[in-house]
Amino acid sequence: MTSPPAMRRRAFHWLSENTAAIVVFLGLALLPAFISGYVIYIVPQYLLYGVLAMSLALLWGFTGILSFGQAAFFALGAYAMGLAPQWVSSGNPVYFGLAASLGIGVALAGIVGYFLFSAGVRDVYFVLVTLALSIMTEQITVSQSDITGGYNGMFIPRAQLSFGGLNLDLSADVPMYYTILPIVIGMYVLLRLVVASRFGKVLVGIRENEDRVLSLGFRTPLYKTAAFALSGAVAGLAGALYGAHASFVSPSLAGVLFSTQVVVWVAIGGRESLLGALLGAVGVAALSNYLTAITPEYWQLVVGVLFVIVIVAFRGGVAGALMRLGRPRTMEPERG
């Protein structure tokens, strides 16, 4: 039975993250009123990186499964958006691209996860397989240059969205900003509900002690497959929106470097906090962009040093450190 101090800690964590999320998203909603230009263009891209990071946080932070394959789903979602106009002859290709990105993410992650988890693959072997998945995806996008553009990449024109009688032109930065932001908020709320559900509690149990959860009668391979499929769908959707926003996709989005960056974002932000993962992605991506402009030779070194400092000094990433800092002293400290 859960002890009262543990219940108070969980309630505090839930309320404090929700409060922080409200403040963050409210600030983002008001941002275009105070800032314009390049910032309004680039922030949606960082937010989509944040959605990608949340997809990994669901898998790594709450299920205990580290994946280096999220970049593959992200890239495939972006290519699906780019190829959508060629796949549909009528209707709005944007909606088809979004649906295709979700379908590809669910199907690929579900198939890979089913065979791996049914075979009892865990830990480092799963990491290696998902890393190979990213490498294969990158090589396929390079080799199929007639379809994907190869190393030259693929250009994706910004489209229009139609809601009933309302036509929204996404060629301007502010409409694109206010199109992506609600989707990001919706994905955060959805994943928070998933984590708080019975399904999410089983995932946390798998992270803590899979053998015990298995002994209680839960089919842990199916739960892990479902978590992987959901994370693949979220990553694919983020990739599709990224393609629509950036108007360009290249094979590097599926590469090992980008896969590693996603892991760094989540580790720095806090893998057991969806908001921490989102803000970690936004913060590190913005810092990397700034460092690339001022010191293109050493920006990766600076980010690497930051990563080491956070891992050594802050258990649970920056979000975990802030949660412990804000916890009332009367609460029993966390153990483990």
Residues 142-157: pLDDT tens digits? Answer: 999 999 999 999 998 8
Domain that holds residue 196: 4-326
26 in a structural domain: yes
> Hunting for tokens 């206010």 — which residue is that?
178
59 in a structural domain: yes
- Here the CATH number for the domain that contains residue 160 is 1.10.3470
Supply the pLDDT for residue 104: 96
331 in a structural domain: no
Supply the pLDDT for residue 304: 84
Supply the pLDDT for residue 295: 81
Q: Kindly give the parts of the chain with pLDDT less than 70.
A: 1-15, 89-91, 162-167, 320-336
197 in a structural domain: yes
Alpha-carbon distance values, 267 to 71, 180, 271, 307, 314 (Å):
16, 24, 6, 8, 10
In this structure, how many other beta carbons lie within 10 angstroms of the beta carbon of residue 294? 8
336 in a structural domain: no
In sequence order, which residues have a C-beta less than 8 Å from that of residue 234 and are 6 or more positions away?
Answer: 51, 52, 54, 55, 58, 105, 187, 191
Supply the pLDDT for residue 78: 95
Supply the pLDDT for residue 114: 93
**Both tokens assigned to 18:** 């929700």
Phi/psi-derived region of residue 256, left when phi > 0, alpha when psi is between -120 and 50, beta in every other case: alpha
Contact (CB, 8 A) for 265 and 277: yes
62 in a structural domain: yes
Q: How many domains does the chain have?
A: 1
334 in a structural domain: no
Nearest to 264 by CA among 228, 232, 311, 299: 311
User: Residue 34 phi/psi, 5° resolution?
Assistant: -120, -20
Supply the pLDDT for residue 231: 97
Supply the pLDDT for residue 293: 83
281 in a structural domain: yes
- How many whole angstroms separate alpha carbon 47 and alpha carbon 180? 8
